[in-house]
Amino acid sequence: MVCSVYREVRSLFYFNVSSNLEYPVCPSCRSNKRDIVFRLQEPYAVARCAECGLHYLYPRLSVGAMQQIYREPSYYEGGSSGYRDRSYTSQEPSLRATFRRLLVNLDNRGLSGGQLLEIGCGHGYLLDEARPFFDRRFGTDFSPEIAAIARHTGAEVFVGGIEQVPADLKVQCVIATQVIEHVYDPLSFVEQLVDHTLPGGHIVLATPDIGGVLRKIMGRRWPSFKTPEHVVYFDFRTLSSVMGRAGLDPIRRLPYPHAFPTGLLAAKFGITLPGWLARIQMWVPATTVAAYGTVRNA
């Protein structure tokens, strides 16, 4: 049922795709000079900014058209690929394991405690795993249905993006994993995160690493080349550049090993595994770049 509704929405949407396209300047430095470095599914390509080196989707959907997709709960059942095995819910054990390891890494660096705000919390797996590490937890998600599920973790969840977080809510730690690659104006996004972080607090960002080994091995088949939703692609240099310009200092790299169901990785190479084998988790060390930055004391 959900799938058929999703197909309806998808076909309606794609019927109008060309009228919803825009041809952006660099989302980081606003330069209009670019090289096309990867051709993806028509009409999309990945451009590399000739000035600052940021990779970004070119063309991309208009922000309004993209937000309409995020409001559909079915987005979380397969993303734009439509593959059930890529859905958030089927990846739950792997995502939880990934987030537990991230939270332990943060705890080891003294970044836990106090209040946590997670932007783009989805079903709330990270918020749930974060119970032992933070006194109070807040989240945001664009879908009202998904936000309602995330509230079962006991966190307060706002429907929308960072704009929907009350102005007076300031926390010790803001986390956004696999979010900034969806953001049309990354600098303004990180500045908004800073506005919700207490002086001396931290902002933690994790995003697919276009400079990583996995991308180099897989070329255009890299799973994170997801159209139309991934609109910017970072490596540590371009990510820390945006964080620095938003006022974070210092900025440090975080290890971010990512667990995936083996079946999902095998499917990328056209191999179908039996169910028991497909569910085994495989840790991939070089697919995500993560960094944390400190909000300076006023």
Task: Give the binding site for Zn ion (CB under 5 A).
Answer: 26, 28-29, 31, 49, 51-52, 54
- In whole angstroms, what is the distance from residue 163 CA to residue 171 CA? 15
Q: Between 35 and 92, name the residue whose CB sits nearer to Zn ion.
A: 35
Of residues 51 and 156, the one with the C-beta less far from Zn ion? 51
Q: Which helix (H) or strand (E) holds 238?
A: helix 236-245
Q: Identify the three-state secondary structure at position 192.
A: helix
Nearest distance from residue 239's CB to Zn ion, in Å? 13
**Among the listed residues 29, 27, 32, 70, the one whose alpha carbon sits nearest the alpha carbon of residue 185:** 27
Give min distance, CB of 211 to Zn ion, in A: 16
Q: How many CB atoms lie within 10 A of CB 210?
A: 25
Taking the least distance from each CB to Zn ion, the nearer of 54 and 206 is 54
How far apart CA 34 and CA 47 sit, in angstroms, is 6
Pick the closer one to Zn ion by CB: 31 or 164.
Answer: 31
Q: How far is the CB of 237 from Zn ion (least distance, A)?
A: 12
Distance (Å, whole) CA 71 – CA 73? 6
CB of 58 to Zn ion, least distance (A): 12
Nearer to Zn ion, 49 or 69 (CB): 49
For Zn ion, the closer of residues 174 and 232 by Cβ is: 232
Rounded to an integer, what distance in angstroms lies between the CA atom of residue 227 and that of residue 206? 19
What are the backbone angles phi and psi of residue 101, rounded to the nearest 5°?
A: -65, -40
**CA-atom Rg of the chain in angstroms:** 18
Distances (CA, A) of 152 to 26, 87, 127, 293: 39, 20, 10, 30
Q: How far is the CB of 88 from Zn ion (least distance, A)?
A: 31
Kindly state the smallest distance separating residue 52's Cβ from Zn ion, in Å.
3
